[in-house]
């Protein structure tokens, strides 16, 4: 069923249906060049009520009913025309002055009633300065306030990301890293600010049993500061102090299950005092204050990378068997890259696995071009195959500066020709055994990420993802409250050397964080979309599901799928050698779409991780 742009932009319903066929997310308008392009204005921007889309092959299919005609049709009046009769009744009561007065009164009353109804019953719209979405309501409000106070889109993204590091300490924080995409609509320029951590210089082949050896150099603060130096409007101190206030004033705990899952692990006394006081996991709604972390944010960059805080981090890591040094911390450099290719989907380059996403989408496009009338079960099957094949190709992308073959590998992944070869090699009848699967996928089963997406009045699109890697990172907390990452678990491990690390000097491991920006294929007219994923198991699978619907599947399907029984889908999937696991997950995608001056929030949450 085709959905008009007006319907898509104003839809307020909550949908739960089978698979990922979502006309509401259809971006086919990107290809349309028939409508004239209107220039963007700074104000007003209309924020429509957010639409929430749920994905997962265990969800029920939405029933579609044809729209009934709302206005009158000729058929409705045919039976009444015969009742109309000519009359000689005096119509003098409708003299012109009286008629005009009556009509005027009725018209005025109607306008008044319409205005009152619009105020109380109309769609929630507001003249605002931009839109920000994040994983936490308080951080969303904080970032939105930055925009209202005249901050740039990047200012708001920084405040939101730092706030998430406070209220979601199991996901991200200043002890971790991440990546930010910034697209300037007017300049048609996209920058990648990579503040992922890297390995200590002295780390060679080491075993990872010790928590201290899992810690990489934190890049969060330096990366966000670099972004601010390029795009900031408010002062750095102003932006950071807002997140510091959240840590000082306190917040309510929301994800107690994350604490419960690590309770049985070997934890420091400081960790227990913070999250498991008196050997009791914090209950939902518990109020927590971290004044030490507020001090860290306000201390500034010099203290973190060159002063007392860097010494504190080194001491804590070494006390837990690690080798991270102050020199490693002080020498950290943010990677800044500018896209030069005129491509429609913007993803971070290596060491990010963004190329794997593009490759998987290319595979799916080829599949749908070659396969007619695919069922829902077959679609799930092909997405699983495409992700698996893409990850196999991405295994070597974690060392771009030290491996001359990476550029060639990247070119092969993004071209269409290898896609045709892979389509011939992919086994549709049965999934290969697990030993043929990429080691990348097995290493990221616990990856979580904080996500912030912004579109502001400065015509900047920002998508940022930050992470400690697994929940609570290395589970090491410094005296000031900094939770340190477990970044080094991201390095590729072979099955024969599980727990053994292979690195090269200052290498950054393969990064599966997925900030994404999509721009019109031609010129500046069309739909702009910024997305980010919150991680979870099978992060690449989740984002590929949603992106495949937005850019591939919707081209080959004009309506939502008919309802299939769950048993049929599961039997088909298991017959092909996949394992379907029913479990709740935090894996989801948030984003913002903009067309001219209309902005819409997108929340797409996968209720169940489907295939492994």
For 579-590, write each residue's pLDDT tens digit.
Answer: 444 334 445 788
* Region of poorest pLDDT, from 95-104, 135-144, 482-491: 95-104
Between CA 47 and CA 126 the distance in angstroms is: 6
47 contacts 131 by C-beta, under 8 angstroms? yes
Structure tokens belonging to residue 589 = 């995608």
Residue of 31, 242, 49, 42 lying closest to 142 (CA atoms) = 242
CA dihedral 547, 550, 556, 561 (to 10 degrees): 90
pLDDT above 50: residue 13: no
How many Cα neighbours within 13 Å face the side chain of 174?
34
CB atoms under 10 Å from CB of 369, counted, come to 12
What confidence tier does 123 reach under pLDDT thresholds 50, 70, 90?
very low
Assessment of whether the complete model's pTM goes beyond 0.75: no
Residue 63: which residues within 8 A CB-CB, separation 6 or more? 563
Pairing label, strands 598-606, 516-518:
unpaired
pLDDT higher than threshold 90 for residue 249: yes
pLDDT computed for residue 329 by the predictor: 95
R_g of the chain computed on alpha carbons: 27
Among the ranges given (141-150, 286-295, 331-340), the one the predictor scored with the smallest mean pLDDT: 331-340
Measured between alpha carbons, how far is 4 from 257 in angstroms, rounded to an integer?
41
- 589 Cα distance to chain centroid: 4
> Residue 136: its pLDDT value, please?
92
pLDDT at 553 over 80: no
Mean pLDDT, range 291-301, rounded to an integer: 95
3-state secondary structure 342-410: CCCEECCCCCECHHHHHHHHHHHHHHHHHCCCCCHHHHHHHHHHHHHHHHHHHCCCCCCCCCCCHHHHH
Burial of 238: CB neighbours in 10 Å, binned 0-12, 13-18, 19+: middle
Answer whether residue 441 shows pLDDT above 60.
Answer: no
CA distance 470 to 487: 8
The reported pLDDT for the residue numbered 151 is: 97
Look at residue 59 and tell me whether its pLDDT is greater than 70. Answer: no
Q: Which residues contact 581 (CB under 8 A, 6 or more apart)?
A: 608, 609, 610, 612
Please answer whether residues 499 and 330 qualify as being in contact, where contact means their C-beta atoms are separated by less than 8 angstroms: no
- Which residue positions form the known binding site? 467-469, 490, 536
Q: Which carries the bigger pLDDT value, residue 125 or residue 592?
A: 592
CA–CA dist 122, 399 (Å, integer): 54
User: Average of pLDDT values for 374-382?
Assistant: 72
Could you tell me if 24 and 593 are in contact, meaning their C-beta atoms sit under 8 angstroms apart?
no
Of 286-290, 432-436, 450-454, 460-464, minimum mean pLDDT range = 432-436
Tell me the CATH class for 5-57+126-250+289-345+439-606: alpha beta
Binding residue positions for L-glutamate: 467-469, 490, 536
pLDDT at residue 183 in the model: 93
Task: Respond yes or no on whether the N-terminal peptide bond of residue 486 is cis (omega within 30° of 0).
Answer: no
Choose between 211 and 303: higher pLDDT: 303
The answer to whether the CB of 133 falls within 8 A of the CB of 147 is no
pLDDT bracket for residue 95 (50, 70, 90) = low
**Alpha-carbon 381 to chain mean position:** 23
25 or 497: whose pLDDT is higher? 497
pLDDT grade for 167, boundaries at 50, 70 and 90? very high
Higher model confidence: residue 209 or residue 91?
Answer: 209
Helix segments in 201-336, DSSP class H: 220-231, 236-249, 256-262, 269-275, 291-299, 301-306, 308-319, 326-330
For the range 372-375, what are the long-range contacts, defined as Cβ-Cβ under 8 Å and sequence gap of 24 or more?
A: 374/556, 375/564, 375/572
**Concatenated DSSP letters of 130-141:** -EEEESSHHHHH
Give the Cα separation of 182 and 394 in Å (integer).
Answer: 24
Q: What is the pLDDT of residues 486-524, one digit of tens each?
A: 988 876 443 334 444 554 444 666 667 788 888 887 777
> Residue 86 pLDDT more than 50?
no
* 276-280, 460-464, 568-572: least confident range: 568-572
What is the per-residue pLDDT for 607? 38
pLDDT digits (tens, 9 = 90+) for 301-320: 999 999 999 999 999 999 99
Calculate what percentage of the chain has a pLDDT beyond 90: 27
C-alpha to C-alpha distance for 555 and 553, rounded to whole angstroms: 5
Q: Which pLDDT belongs to residue 370?
A: 57
- Mapped onto helix, strand or coil, the DSSP state of residue 337 is strand
- Check residue 251 and give its pLDDT: 92
Higher per-residue confidence, 154 vs 386: 154
CA distance to 181, 223, 269, 370, 542, per residue, from 337 (Å): 10, 13, 41, 36, 26
Looking at residue 417, its pLDDT comes to: 59
Better pLDDT: 177 or 586: 177
- Give the number of residues written for the chain: 612
| Model confidence at 107: pLDDT above 60 | yes
- Average pLDDT in the chain: 70
Q: Predicted confidence band at 339 (pLDDT cuts at 50, 70, 90)?
A: low
Residues 6+ apart with CB under 8 A from 64: 1, 559, 560
What residues pair up with 28 in beta bridges, in sequence order? none
More confident site: 407 or 611: 407
């Amino acid at each position: 069923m085709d959905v008009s742009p007006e319907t898509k932009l104003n839809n307020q319903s909550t949908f739960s249906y089978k698979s990922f066929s979502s006309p509401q997310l259809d971006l086919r308008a990107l290809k349309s060049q028939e409508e004239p392009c209107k220039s963007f204005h700074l104000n007003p921007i209309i924020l429509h009520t957010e639409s929430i889309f749920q994905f997962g092959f265990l969800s029920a299919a939405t029933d579609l009913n044809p729209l009934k005609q709302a206005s009158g049709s000729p058929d409705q009046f045919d039976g009444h025309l015969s009742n109309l009769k000519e009359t000689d009744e005096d119509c003098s009561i409708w003299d012109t002055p009286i008629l005009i007065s009556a009509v005027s009164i009725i018209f005025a009353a109607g306008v008044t009633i319409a205005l009152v109804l619009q105020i109380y019953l109309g769609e929630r719209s507001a003249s605002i300065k931009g839109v920000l979405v994040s994983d936490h309501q308080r951080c969303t409000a904080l970032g939105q306030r930055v925009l209202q106070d005249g901050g740039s889109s990047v200012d708001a993204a920084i405040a939101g990301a730092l706030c998430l590091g406070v209220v979601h300490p199991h996901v991200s924080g200043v002890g971790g890293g991440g990546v930010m995409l910034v697209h300037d609509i007017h300049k048609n320029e996209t920058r990648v600010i990579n503040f992922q951590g890297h390995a200590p210089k002295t780390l060679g082949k080491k075993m990872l049993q010790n928590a201290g050896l899992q810690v990489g150099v934190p890049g969060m603060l330096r990366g966000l500061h670099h972004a601010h130096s390029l795009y900031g409007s408010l002062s750095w101190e102003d932006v950071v102090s807002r997140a510091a206030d959240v840590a000082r004033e306190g917040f309510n705990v929301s994800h107690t299950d994350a604490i419960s899952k690590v309770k049985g692990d070997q934890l420091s006394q400081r960790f227990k005092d913070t999250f498991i006081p008196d050997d009791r996991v914090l209950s939902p709604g518990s109020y927590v204050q971290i004044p030490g972390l507020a001090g860290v944010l306000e201390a500034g960059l010099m203290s973190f990378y060159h002063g007392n805080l860097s010494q504190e981090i080194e001491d804590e890591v070494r006390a837990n068997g690690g080798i991270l040094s102050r020199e490693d911390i002080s020498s950290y450099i943010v990677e800044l890259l500018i896209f030069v290719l005129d491509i429609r989907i913007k993803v971070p380059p290596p060491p990010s696995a963004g190329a794997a996403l593009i490759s998987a989408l290319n595979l799916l496009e080829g599949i749908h071009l070659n396969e007619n009338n695919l069922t829902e079960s077959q679609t799930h099957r092909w997405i699983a195959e495409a992700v698996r094949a893409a990850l196999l190709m991405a295994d070597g992308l974690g060392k771009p500066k030290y491996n001359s073959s990476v550029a060639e590998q990247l070119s092969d992944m993004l071209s269409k020709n290898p896609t045709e070869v892979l389509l011939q090699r992919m086994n549709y009848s049965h999934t290969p055994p697990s030993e043929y699967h990429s080691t990348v996928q097995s290493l990221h089963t616990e990856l979580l990420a904080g996500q912030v997406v912004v579109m502001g009045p400065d015509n900047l699109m920002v998508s940022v993802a930050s992470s400690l890697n697994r929940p609570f990172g290395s589970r090491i907390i410094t005296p000031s409250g900094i939770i340190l990452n477990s970044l080094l678990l991201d390095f590729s491990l072979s099955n024969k050397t599980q727990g053994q690390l292979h690195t090269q000097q200052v290498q950054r491991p393969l990064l599966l964080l997925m900030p994404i920006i999509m721009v019109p294929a031609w010129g500046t007219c069309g739909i702009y979309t910024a997305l980010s994923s919150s991680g979870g198991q099978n992060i690449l699978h989740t984002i590929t599901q949603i992106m495949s619907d937005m850019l591939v599947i919707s081209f080959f399907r004009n309506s939502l799928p008919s309802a299939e029984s769950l048993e049929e889908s599961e039997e088909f999937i298991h017959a092909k050698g996949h394992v379907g696991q029913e479990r709740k997950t935090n894996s989801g995608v948030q984003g913002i779409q903009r067309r001219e001056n209309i902005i819409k929030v997108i929340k797409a949450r996968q209720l169940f991780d489907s295939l492994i």
